[in-house]
Amino acid sequence: MPVEDPPAPGRLIAPSLDDLRTAFALDADVWAAIERIGPCRLRGDDGLEPYEALLRAIAGQQLHGRAARAIFGRLCALTEDRIPGPAELLAHDEQTLRGCGLSGAKIVAMRGVAEARLDGRVPSRAEADELDDETIVRKLVTLRGVGRWTVEMLLMFTLGRPDVMPVDDFGVREGWRRIKGYDAPVRPKALGLETAMFSPWRSALAWYCWRASEEGKKAADVNPLTG
| Band of pLDDT at residue 65, cut at 50, 70 and 90 | confident
Last residue of a domain, one of 157, 173, 202: 157
Q: What is the pTM of this model?
A: 0.86
Is 104 found in the same domain as 128? yes
Last residue of a domain, one of 105, 133, 157: 157
Residues 6+ apart with CB under 8 A from 145: 58, 61, 105, 106, 108, 109, 110, 112, 113
Q: What is the CATH number of the domain that holds 129?
A: 1.10.340.30
Active-site residue, from 45, 93, 169, 221: 169
In a domain, 30, yes or no: yes
Is 55 found in the same domain as 148? yes
Is 62 found in the same domain as 129? yes
Known catalytic membership, residue 169:
yes
Is 74 found in the same domain as 55? yes
DSSP H/E element including 12: strand 11-12
Is 56 found in the same domain as 150? yes
Is 65 found in the same domain as 131? yes
Whether the per-residue pLDDT at 223 is higher than 50: the answer is no
In this predicted model, which residue has the larger pLDDT, 218 or 52? 52
Whole-number pLDDT of residue 11: 61
Whole-number pLDDT of residue 24: 86
For the stretch 101-129, pLDDT in tens is 999 999 999 999 999 999 999 999 999 99
Is 183 found in the same domain as 142? no
Domain housing 26: 11-44+164-219
Contact in structure between 148 and 141 (CB atoms under 8 Å): yes
In a domain, 5, yes or no: no
Mean pLDDT within 54-68: 91
Whether the per-residue pLDDT at 9 is higher than 50: the answer is no
In a domain, 202, yes or no: yes
Is 102 found in the same domain as 66? yes
Number of domains in the chain: 2
Whole-number pLDDT of residue 155: 96
SS percent in the chain: helix, strand, coil, step 5: 60, 0, 40
Is 134 found in the same domain as 81? yes
150 half-sphere exposure, CB direction, 13 A CA radius: 25
Is 182 found in the same domain as 98? no
Whole-number pLDDT of residue 224: 38
In a domain, 2, yes or no: no
| Band of pLDDT at residue 6, cut at 50, 70 and 90 | very low
Whether the per-residue pLDDT at 8 is higher than 60: the answer is no
In a domain, 16, yes or no: yes
In a domain, 224, yes or no: no
Last residue of a domain, one of 104, 134, 157: 157
| Band of pLDDT at residue 77, cut at 50, 70 and 90 | very high
For the stretch 132-182, pLDDT in tens is 999 999 999 999 999 999 999 999 999 999 999 999 999 999 999 999 999
Provide, rounded to the nearest whole percent, the portion of the chain with pLDDT above 90.
Answer: 76
Decide: helix, strand or coil at residue 43: strand
Q: What is the CATH number of the domain that holds 37?
A: 1.10.1670.40
Whole-number pLDDT of residue 143: 98
Is 82 found in the same domain as 151? yes
| Band of pLDDT at residue 18, cut at 50, 70 and 90 | confident
